[in-house]
Amino acid sequence: MKKIYYLLLFSCLFVFMVSCNNSKKEIFTVDSAKENLEFAIKQYEGMYSSIEDIATYPRNIQKNGETHFVNPEDWTSGFFPGSLWYLFEYSGEEELKEMAENSNAGLETLKTNTGTHDLGFMMYCSYGNGLRLTENSDYKDILVEGAYSLATRFDSIVGCIKSWDWQGPNNNWQYPVIVDNMMNLEFLFWAAKVSGDELFYKIATTHANTTMKNHFRDDYSSYHVVDYDTLTGEARWKGTHQGYADESAWARGQAWGLYGYTMCYRETKDPSYLEQAKNIANYILDHPNLPDDFVLYWDFFAPDIPNTERDASAAAVTASALLELQNYVEEPLKTKFFNSAEKILSSLSSPAYRAEENENNYFILKHSVGHKPGNSEIDTPLNYADYYYIEALKRYIDLSE
Ligand code: GLY
């Protein structure tokens, strides 16, 4: 009898120890974040060495297995130098600073580019981080000029910056605005402070207000595209371009909105932006189609769920946004948002999503989706998945220290 008792006791102890060990593995810590950033440095140094023309920027891996390098005019050009700046900030390694400076240099011509709404992504991630970390006054001048170029795309009747100059697949859009454009407002808020020109602040807040009114459904999911009537400023069509369907919820679009309104609250302290960000976060986190590991399917209503692609980029943007948003909210949301961000980081840092050293053409994360309906960039690394993953890791460490 005694023997059985000891055997039972031993078995229970064994099960307890194994489960402790397993749950330990799942806990994400500051040390895990640091290990991932050390890994990111190695990958990005390798990536830098693989670049033949410094004025081209690694964006994704093509179907033939080769890295796709893009020109400065591509909307993603700022993410590679931006990631190098973040890695320099984390490590203090002068070599990374030099790489970031060299990579930035090719983007200077963007300052006069009035043909894209993405100047915030392109210039603020690259020159913005560069200025923050070096106080190089040339960077400041380049940025202010770029912000004026972006401001030319604002129309006061519509109350938004125009996203695209093409008229859409049926050639009938007048003034398309995509939810992604919320991300470019951070550049304008910065320009308002530095230049003293209130126009930038007015444009940024008007754009955010118009988008809040027209892009969101009652459940706080968002349309990808809203097309406006240029004469009346009314929304004339709502739908999608990169999502599954007009009435679906494209994952990265939800993430851009979450990040955008969190940032707008930081810059304005307008409580309506905080409310919007909280509601978007809850939409994402409470959604029945959010997978167990919190790495979003590319669209919340993709028809093949669970047998469809994840979008690591949407997850990385969401994690970074939640780590900021949790600073602005009370319990229980604070813990909910922090724990969810931690869970995303833990998942993205696992072998399921994070590459091995020198693999993945030196990108950090695998498994993102760029434009599924366009049959482009499906289940590939993307430079902006890496950028927001690095940003989120840094935010995670900063919160703990
Ligand atoms: N801004 C384009 C995208 O998120 O794919």
Interval 29-58: pLDDT, tens: 999 999 999 999 999 999 999 999 999 999
Does the structure show a pLDDT above 60 at 297?
Answer: yes
More confident site: 356 or 26 = 356
- Which of 59, 74, 252, 311 best tests ligand 1's pocket when mutated (most atoms within 8 Å of CB)? 252
For the chain, counts of helices (H) and of strands (E) = 14, 9
Dihedral sign, Cα of residue 155, residue 158, residue 164, residue 168? negative
User: Is the Cβ atom of 391 under 6 angstroms away from ligand 1?
Assistant: no
- Give the nearest ligand 1 atom to 371 CA: 5
Active site residue ranges:
118, 180
The mean pLDDT value for 100-115 works out to: 98
Cα separation, 363 vs 356, in Å, equals 10
The pLDDT assigned to 27 comes to 87
- The pLDDT-based confidence of 17 (bands split at 50, 70, 90) is very low
- The pLDDT-based confidence of 11 (bands split at 50, 70, 90) is low
- Which of 116, 117, 163, 180 best tests ligand 1's pocket when mutated (most atoms within 8 Å of CB)? 180
Cβ(387)–Cβ(60) below 8 Å = no
Does the structure show a pLDDT above 90 at 19?
Answer: no
The mean pLDDT value for 73-88 works out to: 98
The mean pLDDT value for 140-149 works out to: 98
CA distances from 278 to 125, 195, 251, 275, 302 (A): 25, 31, 16, 5, 24
The mean pLDDT value for 338-365 works out to: 98
Cα separation, 273 vs 328, in Å, equals 11
Indicate yes or no: pTM above 0.85.
Answer: yes
- The pLDDT-based confidence of 401 (bands split at 50, 70, 90) is confident
Q: Which residue has the CA at smallest separation from atom 1 of ligand 1?
A: 180
The DSSP call for residue 346 is H
Does the structure show a pLDDT above 50 at 287?
Answer: yes
- The pLDDT-based confidence of 4 (bands split at 50, 70, 90) is low
The pLDDT assigned to 20 comes to 41
